[in-house]
Structure formats: structure tokens, C-alpha cells
Amino acid sequence: MNITKKILVLGLGGAGCASIARIAQNAPDGMDFALMDCDVQTLENCSQIDSRIAIGKSVTDGLSTGGDIDMGRRCAENSLTQLETLLNGVDFLFVVVGLGGGFGSGSAPIIARMARGLGAHTLFFSILPFEFEGSVVRKKAHDSQRKLRTYADAIVQMPNKRIQPDGDALLTDSMDRSAQTIAEGVVGLWRLLSHTGLCNLDFANLQTMLHFCDATCRFSCATAAGEGRANTLIDELRNHPLANKGSIFEKAPGLIIGITGGEDLTLKEAQQIIENIAPDNAKCWIKMGVAIDSDFSGQISVMILAAEAWKQPLVDDGYGGLKPKTGKAEQGELVGVLKQTSSKFGESERTIWRGEDLDIPTYLRKKIKLPR
């Protein structure tokens, strides 16, 4: 394992806590989890996670918000010190939250805002309500998601309708299955970041993806073993409930493809998977990672994170103005953006103060992502 940055996986509200409690049962050693809710009972039901944080006692007196988003927001706003203690020093925050209730929907945007202020990158896995929960709940989820978009780096939407099994599954099996789908995303990403591989996916790659993706991402994952496993895997990736038959890969302007296999993974298999999944599209920013893990002997597992939209980086036009970058080679290079930005007075000396180039706009120098 190669964990040089701190990754925290946080469950918010009833759905977030229940999902994380299920995910943690089979998670690799070294993953850091925390749960947060105003509902003490929810936290007590998840005793397998040590870090359980009850907030908003003065607002709900230890009960749930009963679907009141404003109460959820106040719970978070009244607990900024607790939030800061939790988020301080975190580099990547992965949050699992169900939108449509009160606590998770109200507190998620506040937490995203604080994490951003403390310099963390945030990826939200947001569970969206079933149709049958009604238009009021769906509207709450929609409104909360809009607020969340302002502060979160990226949101992976997980509509309950798609991540639950079809047919007459028992409710508990259904919840296990949805937690399993979420786990594949959260644990899969964590695993890729924490392995040194042949061609590993590092934090800078995820950082670039989170910086430039325009709020929403899709993901797909699959694991296959046995003869013809690469072909089986490609079919499963396309047929994943969140992959829209593979169209998310073809249209994506930014793509992270992470392959994990045992010592028996062949170059031909990796090549076959990438050639079938990555679009032959010069405009797509693609980063691939291949990790070898003895636990995956005989198997191949692939996780894909696909941006739905991409923000064009800004570059200096040479006349003191900033304009969108274009072209395949330049896309997605944050470092390039900073290097190419030059002073308005092209020939004059740059203004360097305490090692910082003040001719570069503050938001670029500090890598601040502007709110949408």
C-alpha cells in the first residue's frame, strides 16, 4: 500500500451510514471511515464503525430531522467546530449520502463547502430516491443536489431505482445490493489510489479529474474470472446499471480507467479492455491505472469514473485576457495552465513575493475552483 495522502470515507444521514456500515464489513485494511447524523439511533445501529459523530443535538435533540432539510442544514451549521476537527488534514473526502431526507440533504452542501475551504477534494456518491417516494422527496433531492454542485468537486449519482435488483428481492437483500454497488465505486477507487502498480493511478490524476469535471460523474465496475474473462468483463462494464449500455464511456470528456488483477494479468488483457472501453476520441482526457494485487489472483477487476462534462481550463491569450484552452494535447493539464499564464506586461519582470508569482490570478495560484 502506498497511502501518502489522507482519504476519509464519510457516511451522512440514514442511507449514508447504513451503506458505509455494510461497505466496511469487507473493506481492505487501512480505509478510514466516519459516520455523521443527528439521529443517535442511526449511529447506534452502526456500532461496527468507531468514528460515529452525532451533531445537531440543540436542533433535533438526538432525533432525525423528519425530512426537514432546513433542520439538516442547521445541524451542520451549528457544528462547524466538530466538522472542522473531522476534516482537518483530509486530502480526499469521499461522501456517501442519500438525498431526499432532511439531514443528509441539508448537511451535505455545508460539509462540501467546509471541505473545500480546508483544501480537500470531494467526491460525493449521492443515492437518489425511488420514484415511488413521491414528488416532494424527489424535489428535495433535486434541490439539495443543485446546492451540492456548487461546492463538491464531483458527484456520482446513484438512483436507487438503478442500483437495486429487479424482481421480488427482500428489502434487506436489496439494501445489501445497493451498498455493494456503492462499495465497488468507493473501495475500487481507494484501492487504485493506494497501490503502486505497473502504471499506477496517482492522486494527481484524480485531482485533475475532480478539478476539471463539471460536477457530475458516472461510474461502472465489474470483476471477472476464468476463460475469456476480459471479454466477460467488457460486457459487464457496459451492462452495469449506471453505464447506460456503455454510452457513458463513449461520450465522456474525461475518463479514469483502473484495472486491478493478480500476477496472472496479461498485457494483452489490459490492452483489450482499454481499447474496448476508451473512446478513440482526441478530445477525451484519459488516465489509466493498472495495479497488481495478490488478492485478485485469477480475477480482473475494473473501475471506471467518467466525467459527464468538462470545464475548459483558462489560458492567457497573450494580451492579458484569459480564454478557454482548446486542443487535445493541452486539455486537462492544470500545471500547464499555471506555467503558461504570463504577465500583462510581457517583457517586464514578474512580481515574485515569498516565492509566489503575483502576476498569476489568485484563483489560479491557489488552485481555487470557482463556485458554479
Ligand X SMILES: Nc1nc2c(ncn2[C@@H]2O[C@H](COP(=O)(O)OP(=O)(O)OP(=O)(O)O)[C@@H](O)[C@H]2O)c(=O)[nH]1
How many helices (H) and strands (E) in the chain?
15, 14
* Site membership for ligand X, residue 129 (CB under 6 A): yes
- Considering the complex, what minimum distance in angstroms separates the CB of residue 192 from ligand X? 24
Burial class (CB in 10 A: 0-12, 13-18, 19+), 195: buried
Which stretch in 99-107, 165-173, 276-284, 292-300 sits in contact with ligand X by CB under 6 A?
Answer: 99-107
**Integer Cα distance of 133 and 114 in angstroms:** 30
Transcribe 279-327 into DSSP letters: ---TT-EEEEEEEE-GGGTTEEEEEEEEES-BPPPEEE-SSS-EEE--S
**Integer Cα distance of 139 and 134 in angstroms:** 9
- By CB under 6 A, name the one of 62, 67, 241, 279 that touches ligand X: 67
| Residue 216 site contact among Mg ion, ligand X, none (CB < 5 to 8 Å, cut-off depends on kind) | none
- By CB under 5 A, name the one of 19, 60, 64, 216 that touches Mg ion: 64
Give residue for cell 460523474. Answer: 217
- Considering the complex, what minimum distance in angstroms separates the CB of residue 140 from ligand X? 8
C-alpha grid cell, residue 222: 465489474
* Site membership for ligand X, residue 144 (CB under 6 A): no
**Integer Cα distance of 297 and 250 in angstroms:** 30
* Site membership for ligand X, residue 127 (CB under 6 A): yes
**Integer Cα distance of 255 and 249 in angstroms:** 7
* Stretch (H or E) spanning 179: helix 171-194
Contact positions with ligand X (CB under 6 A) in 266-295:
none
* Site membership for ligand X, residue 21 (CB under 6 A): no
- By CB under 6 A, name the one of 11, 13, 261, 332 that touches ligand X: 13
Which stretch in 11-19, 210-218, 231-239, 340-348 sits in contact with ligand X by CB under 6 A?
Answer: 11-19
**Integer Cα distance of 368 and 135 in angstroms:** 36
**Cβ closer to ligand X: 133 or 214?**
133
**Cβ closer to Mg ion: 129 or 261?**
129
* Site membership for ligand X, residue 102 (CB under 6 A): yes
Contact residues for ligand X (CB under 6 A)?
13-15, 18-19, 39, 64-67, 72, 98, 100-104, 127, 129-130, 133, 137, 160, 175, 178
